[in-house]
A and B are shown apart, each in its own frame.
Chain A
Amino acid sequence: MASEEEEEVLIEVEAVEAVYGEDCKIIQRFPPHIQLHIKPRTADDSSQQFVEAILELRAGSQYPKEPPHIGMIDSKGLDEVRQAHLITSIQEKVDELSSCLMLVALCEEAVHVLSHMNHPDGDCPLCLYPLVKEDVHGNSWPFMKLMSCYHCFHSKCIIKWWNWLQQQSESDSNISNATATSSSNLGSRRGLHGAVKNQRSCPVCRKVFQATDIEHVLSLVQTYTSELSLEETETDDDEELQHSELENSRRKEFDALLKLQEENNGLIEPKKIQVLLPGVFLPNPVTPPTVSTKVSAELQQSEQTSTTNTHTSETGPSRPYSKASTSSRNNFGQRKNKMRNPRTQNKQWAKKES
């Protein structure tokens, strides 16, 4: 009867092989030892794939009476917590199906659990802020993954890092050109750092990028670098400006309020009252200008002999209606008069009004 059971197990292994095709590596048919490369079901588009794993299913000769051993050989995009979750879920399925043929079901379960984990998780390793986060405007920061390891970064973070490395290796090579004859020590050190300019390793796992990743990053660098660097300096400046402007205007506002309050004994009133305070003698288009200009002309004549003539001719009755120049001059003269001789001014003001 043993052979019949063995037959069943062999058929099951064939079934797994049929379902998973190239993703399934049969190490041994009996007792079954299978390596399964699982990808999330939703990820036909590789840009939408953030996790994958290689699992090992290893059964003993007593399988299915004896449960198979489940292990993880490799994974991408899964931190320890999520790796553990995947294994635990499969283990639970093992317990649930104990003594049954379960390899196909276990594989299905694995893919199912992984599909639910197909999203980038955690923080950007470079800035330590969540990978998927929304700023105040509800925009999320674009992020990217390295295809060789599925480690994800904010695009702008990894681009900054990339540029930094390029810059460093440029200055490094300048130094080494300058000190070409110096010790080999420096040379070996740069060898560690990244002898090939276009080849870098992942900041998290040090896995060397594949060519596609480099192209991906480089194209990002080309399209975003100038934009990004500009943007950043601009926003920095803007922030400073905004800050100082805000601060200044806020201060002014409070100062003005305080002043107003002081002047009005704590009562704040509209500003126009201040503008029309008594004593500020504004040319009023309603009042006949002839009177006021005459007045000012008289006063000016009496006080300033040198400029009298021009003033009278300009402000005389022949050009009664205010032009910019005359009115400003009137104003000027009147203010002066007021300062020098407030009493006459008042008198004349009263006279004119009556």
Chain B
Amino acid sequence: MTSSSAPSRKALSKIACNRLQKELVEWQVNPPAGFKHKVTDNLQRWVIEVNGASGTLYANETYQLQVDFPEHYPMEAPQVIFIPPAPQHPHIYSNGHICLDILYDSWSPAMTVSSICISILSMLSSSTAKQRPADNDRYVKNCRNGRSPKETRWWFHDDKV
């Protein structure tokens, strides 16, 4: 499955390492509500447990996010996907890819894993229907060879959900 596809990545740069260590410390002191970082010794891949917010369609559901950091993080955005089974959401494909502008074109180096998590939870919480994107099957088929969502040319058109 695409979740286990490890893109051939270069090791983290020194800047990236410092920054991630800092983020990890901040996370431990003040984790975003509803998220749990699964501790590993791999700084370059974080697995984060997401709990659907109460009062939303995803209440009492737990999902896993996989965050892979590129060599030049935070200049480059991390790759963030749900480890299947991904939540049913109009912007989340069944292979776990997430259509969210801040993960691609609108990434800014001032964003953090924590702020990404909050954005994703907010995206989940504002969903009004548990359904896949209209082009899910086509997209997932195109990604069969383990393509990263960062290689996708995304169209961001719906800012409501």
Contact = CB atoms under 8 A, between A and B. Distances in A.
Interface string B103-146: 00110111010000000000000000000000000000000000
Contacts of B112: 128
A160 B15 contact: yes
B108 A206 contact: yes
B18 interface: yes
Interface residues of B, number: 18
Contact of A193 (B18, B75, B105): B105
Given A189-B153, A192-B106, A204-B108, A126 B14 contact: no
Given A203-B110, A204-B108, A129 B22 contact: yes
A125 B106 CA distance: 16
Given A126-B110, A127-B22, A128-B26, A186 B153 contact: yes
A183 B153 CA distance: 11
B113 to A, nearest CB: 11
Interface string A193-205: 1000000000110
Contact of B153 (A126, A185, A193, A203): A185
Contacts of A183: 153
Among B19, B23, B74, B155, the one with the most A-chain Cβ atoms within 10 Å of its Cβ is: B74
A interface, size bucket: 10 to 19
Interface in A160-182: 160-161, 164
A160 B14 CA distance: 13
Contacts, number: 39
Given A161-B75, A185-B153, A189-B153, A127 B18 contact: yes
A126 B109 contact: yes
Contact of A125 (B26, B110, B155): B110
A164 B105 contact: no
Contacts of B22: 127-129
B150 interface: no
A236 interface: yes
A126 B105 contact: no
A125 B110 CA distance: 5
B105 A189 contact: yes
Contacts of A128: 19, 22-23, 26, 112
A161 B109 CA distance: 8
Contacts of A204: 108, 110
A206 B108 CA distance: 9
Contact of A164 (B72, B110, B153, B155): B72
Contacts of A193: 105
Contacts of B105: 189, 192-193
B77 to A, nearest CB: 12
A191 to B, nearest CB: 10
B14 A236 contact: yes
B18 A160 contact: no
B108 A160 contact: no
Contacts of B108: 203-204, 206
Interface of A: 125-129, 160-161, 164, 183, 185-186, 189, 192-193, 203-204, 206, 236
8 contacts: A125-B110, A126-B109, A127-B15, A128-B22, A128-B112, A160-B75, A185-B153, A185-B155
Given A126-B109, A189-B153, 17 more contacts: A125-B109, A126-B19, A126-B110, A127-B15, A127-B18, A127-B22, A128-B112, A129-B18, A129-B22, A160-B75, A185-B153, A186-B153, A192-B105, A193-B105, A203-B109, A203-B110, A236-B14
